[in-house]
Amino acid sequence: MNTIIIFSSKYGCTADCACNLKGKLTGQVTLTDINKSNIKIEIEKYDTIIIGSSIYVGAISKKLRTLCHENIELLTQKRVGIFLCCAFPEQANDYLSANFPSTLLKNTKTVKMFGGEARLEKMSFLDKLIVKSATKGNYKNLKISHESLEDFVREISV
Ligand SMILES: Cc1cc2nc3c(=O)[nH]c(=O)nc-3n(C[C@H](O)[C@H](O)[C@H](O)COP(=O)(O)O)c2cc1C
């Protein structure tokens, strides 16, 4: 299996999940940070495409959203998995339908919410205020679900 994990992360949580996934998948796995990649991502070269993004104010990364829309025909012919890092995984359906083409969602092998982390020490003043207010001060309870990550690995691999 020849896999690419394309991810977007602002404070490192999604990047760590992508890295963790890479370690658990078999075959050749390429890790690509869409925010650092200046060259065109050659999706056609891979059998499996994994897209991972954090959610900010209901939205995934704009670059990832563009990538999905521009490559929708190709993506629907591939094995695709989507994971999101966010504070409110119970809002998964809203996040998915607002950010991904419905044809892509219908053709995915697996979609998982990994939960999230609030890395306050790295955040801008405004982002700290937003995350504290949105979580009603319970930002320390945010965590990654390793169970979801393991489920993702199992489902993308069959
Ligand atoms: C300014 C800000 C806005 C956020 N907006 C949302 C949101 O709308 N929905 C949600 O579920 N989580 C939201 N989050 C939580 C992040 O998605 C979560 O902390 C995630 O793990 C961050 O991943 P990253 O470190 O890879 O950027 C927000 C966090 C911040 C700091």
pLDDT tens profile 28-65: 999 999 999 888 899 999 999 999 999 999 999 999 99
Q: What number is the average pLDDT over the span 63-70?
A: 97
Q: Which atom of ligand 1 is nearest to the CA of 11?
A: 25
Q: Domain range for residue 112?
A: 2-157
C-alpha 62 to ligand 1 mean position (Å): 14
pLDDT for the residue numbered 99: 98
C-alpha 120 to ligand 1 mean position (Å): 11
Specify the CATH number for the domain of residue 130: 3.40.50.360
Which secondary structure element, helix H or strand E, spans residue 131, and what is its range? helix 125-134
Angle between helices 146-157 and 13-24 (to 10 degrees): 50
The answer to whether residues 22 and 29 touch, using CB atoms and an 8 Å cutoff, is: yes
C-alpha 54 to ligand 1 mean position (Å): 6
pLDDT for the residue numbered 37: 84
Ligand 1 binding pocket includes 55 (Cβ within 6 Å): yes
pLDDT for the residue numbered 15: 98
The answer to whether residues 7 and 33 touch, using CB atoms and an 8 Å cutoff, is: yes
pLDDT for the residue numbered 102: 97
Residue 112 CA neighbour count, 13 Å, CB half = 24
Q: Which residues pair with 48 in a beta bridge?
A: 3, 79
Asked whether residue 1 carries a pLDDT value surpassing 80, the answer given is no
Model confidence band, residue 85 (pLDDT cutoffs 50, 70, 90) = very high
pLDDT for the residue numbered 39: 84
Ligand 1 binding pocket includes 13 (Cβ within 6 Å): yes
- 113-158: pLDDT as tens digits: 999 999 999 999 999 999 999 999 999 999 999 999 999 999 999 8
Ligand 1 binding pocket includes 118 (Cβ within 6 Å): yes
Number of domains observed in the structure of the chain: 1
pLDDT for the residue numbered 146: 96
C-alpha 118 to ligand 1 mean position (Å): 7
Cα 106 to Cα 140: distance, rounded to the nearest angstrom? 34
